[in-house]
Amino acid sequence: MASSSIASSSMASSSKRSRSPTPEEDDEDEKPRPKKFAFDLNEEPEPELEEDDSDATLALLRRWNVPATPPAKMVHPGLIGLCSKPIRMQLTKKDVNFEDEKQSKLVLSKSKLTNEFDLFVRGKEWMVVSVYGPDGKIHEIKMWIDEKEDKIDLKKGWSKFVGDYDLKEICDFVAVWMFWNKEGREICLAIDTMRLVVRKLVSQRISKAVFDDED
Evaluate whether residue 151 is within a structural domain. yes
How many helical (H) and strand (E) elements, i.e. helices and strands, does the chain have?
Answer: 8, 10
* Structure confidence at residue 97 as a pLDDT band (50, 70, 90): confident
CA-to-CA distance for 149 and 21, rounded, in angstroms?
63
Give domain status of residue 7, yes or no. no
Q: Is residue 211 part of a domain?
A: no
Report d(CA 164, CA 129) in Å as an integer. Answer: 17
Condensed to tens digits (0 to 9), the pLDDT of residues 4-61 reads 444 444 444 444 444 555 545 544 444 444 444 343 445 444 445 589 999 999 999 9
- Each residue's pLDDT tens digit, 137-188: 999 999 999 989 999 999 999 999 999 999 999 999 999 999 999 999 999 9
Q: Residues with Cβ < 8 Å from 153, sequence gap 6 or more?
A: 105, 106, 107, 108, 143, 144, 146
Q: What is the pLDDT of residue 80?
A: 98
Q: Does the residue 76 lie in any domain?
A: yes
Task: Give the C-alpha separation, 203 to 197, whole Å.
Answer: 15
Question: CATH number for the domain including 161?
Answer: 2.40.330.10
How many Cα neighbours within 13 Å face the side chain of 88? Answer: 25
Instruction: Dump strand ranges (E) for 162-212.
Output: 172-181, 186-195, 201-202
Region 206-213: mean pLDDT is 86
**How many domains in the chain?**
1
**In-domain check, residue 154:** yes
Say what the pTM is: 0.75
Q: Is residue 49 part of a domain?
A: no
Lowest-confidence pick of 55-64, 97-106, 185-194: 97-106
Domain that holds residue 157: 65-195
Cβ(155)–Cβ(141) below 8 Å = yes
CA-only gyration radius of the chain, Å:
32
Buried b (16+ CB within 10 A) or exposed e, 26-37: eeeeeeeeeeee
Does 126 reside within a domain? yes
Cβ-based neighbour number of residue 110 at 10 Å = 19
Residue 108 placed within a domain: yes
Dihedral of the alpha carbons of 71, 76, 81, 83, in degrees to the nearest 10: -20
